[in-house]
A and B are shown apart, each in its own frame.
Chain A
């Protein structure tokens, strides 16, 4: 072991203090004592914890002004997704009606599961890629694509083919990490303050890109249910009031535009699927400004009637849209 440099010996004596040194020492120690007392006074309080105030935000309304000359919903049938998407958006007034130059755009496809496109558990990558492309061409400053997945999000985005499609079209995948959730007032019947992926507070436009799927509890996963992927937290509790939760979410997030992927439809074993026998060809893309009408229209793919889907009537009561989609201006067309 190393020797200490100076060794105190037993006959060493303490040097005497001069008056100056004594006063200096007293003043120094007193100042320290005063600091301690002041600190104690400053920290003293009745609360057991001091917690910083959390800023609770609200999600803004992303809708554009209504245009009575344009239809509310465009149904396009065909085999090739990209031209179908372009046609559907064109019928509603073109992408420039929804995305202005310099806008920051957020796309919300359904990327909940670690599944391949053919299994129809996630929105098709062709649709997502096409919408990114259109937004870029409309002059969007940035196009982000996000979802709060149920499986490992990195795997979901890779295996759904969406990451590749987004990158190829010039967009960015933004996955919400642990620090990326912001306390948000959903103002709903059952949903009050929930953590929401911060990207929803950082963009100008939001486009919903759902897919048509079966779901055991809510009967179907369509555009309004797709907003489950906005929130974090312990959202598995939402099943306990699933119809109210869906309507609360759809009330809190009003998107600029919704484009439904019904090219492939998961008819059974939803929302995960896994078996190609459960997937039917829908060969349809629907763009809509009314999520209730859109969801109501898509029930046809799943052989359901509106009565079996309570959240539709609840949403209509809340003024989110119209269940009887036939009463609205809907255009149908065929591409290719």
Chain B
């Protein structure tokens, strides 16, 4: 007969492998209806925060109820049975945080430090209520998706090619890598540091588990206070005393460790000890809410893509208008995983502090493939709507293509314009029909007086969709002679230049 701990390990392993599998198949060749967004949709924090920002529980986000409702009865089982980041933290702690029992007790005791996650949760939810979805910064599911997409998978691809078509290089990827490694390293000093201290999802589930009926219970008569349970407690829930159910990760380690049979998971028995409620009083909670309410207008008063259209904030095809986009994007990076050309890159501060790690098109890295709509297909929150190819390119019944921006020539850098050298690679690659780039055949006189026939290119702005292939394929490599900016993007009513469009 296997113990509960073994069963939990099997579950955790299964879900971790499932995550890797989902990330592996999230590309053009393998994406065949797999529920690659499952973990993001199961995430109650994403569901709650996006309901606050946009007043709707979008499609698959309803799956979050599959986690919330059992949590109300069973406690934070998600954290040690399902959460892939929790599993990773646990494995790293298990391998690198090995201590003698006497040293393990203080590490696994509850500390007031662990209240931080509840304050973070309060701040993130207040921001969401104001329309700014920032949970993705610290949501463990978004965190692990992003870390794998922008850091771990590219690292694997570097050694063993085959994950990405083109070399996966991500803007500011080193920041994501660094934070990911710091979180893993923190386990060396405090077991499951992230889960105990920072995780806002854990905090949300902790609040939910305040009312759980099935819990870890300690029989006060049988308990000899040997502290064996504390030695392997993952959540720092004080199983040897009045158990902190909001911190308990239901890992079952204590039940397995107890030699006296004093601990069990279930309903209270006649001699069960009392539990301890959430260690965040009403006053502390009110303080953090007041702080967030006061801070938001200050943060929002900064110039950003929300307040002012930015030429380089070019969003994926099907992206919602910027304000709604920022209210729905959870920065998981799945669109960047599936993008075949890697034109989708994580923003650092280009779109303001709010827009950190949201997807931008950087045409030096790739271009938007004309018939590709994969980013919208994998977006769990429809920050990028799932549009069809017909809708994107504007064939019947659609009348207009989806425009991402407009291309502009830099005639001081363009070979035929500035240097009398034939080129028009941009025209060759332009995917629209008729092409948005056209040319005029002109006769130019070179330095030595010799005549050269040149084709000098122009952009016809009402045909340009802003895909950026012209910029990407321009032989003026470092800073192309034709560049796309966001003006003319379909999703914006303000960021327009033509009267007729």
Q: Which residues of A approach B to under 8 Å, CB–CB?
A: 1-3, 114-115, 150-155, 158-159, 177-179, 215-217, 234, 236-237, 239-242, 269, 271-275, 278
Contact = CB atoms under 8 A, between A and B. Distances in A.
The binding surface of chain A is classed by DSSP as loop
B435 A240 contact: no
B371 A236 contact: no
A234 B425 CA distance: 12
Interface centre among B341, B371, B432, B474 (most CB of A within 10 A): B371
Contact of A239 (B99, B161, B167, B423): B423
A2 B28 contact: no
Interface in B120-152: none
Given A236-B474, A239-B425, A272-B430, A178 B371 contact: no
A72 B100 CA distance: 85
Contacts, number: 89
B431 A272 contact: yes
Contacts of B421: 240
Given A239-B422, A239-B428, A271-B428, A114 B371 contact: yes
Contacts of B428: 215-217, 239, 271-272
B413 to A, nearest CB: 14
A113 B373 CA distance: 16
Contacts of A274: 370, 431-433
A240 B415 CA distance: 9
B456 interface: no
Contacts of A158: 28-29
Given A1-B103, A153-B165, A272-B430, A236 B372 contact: no
A73 B75 CA distance: 78
Nearest to A215: B428
A178 B370 contact: no
A154 B340 contact: yes
Interface in B152-209: 161-162, 165-167
A234 to B, nearest CB: 7
Contacts of A242: 422
Interface in B456-501: 473-475, 477
A239 B475 contact: yes
B439 A154 contact: no
B5 to A, nearest CB: 25
Contact of B434 (A159, A239, A269): A269
A207 B372 CA distance: 31
Given A151-B369, A239-B475, A217 B455 contact: yes
Nearest to A175: B165
A272 B165 contact: no
Contact of B433 (A1, A155, A159, A273): A273
A178 B163 CA distance: 12
12 contacts: A1-B103, A114-B372, A152-B28, A152-B369, A152-B372, A217-B424, A217-B455, A239-B425, A240-B423, A269-B434, A272-B429, A272-B435
A122 to B, nearest CB: 13
A240 B427 CA distance: 14
Nearest to A113: B431
A239 B28 CA distance: 31
A154 B165 contact: yes
A275 B429 CA distance: 15
Nearest to A116: B371
B432 to A, nearest CB: 7
B340 A236 contact: no
A155 B425 contact: no
Contacts of B455: 216-217
Given A1-B103, A155-B28, A177-B162, 7 more contacts: A150-B473, A151-B370, A152-B28, A178-B161, A239-B425, A240-B423, A269-B435
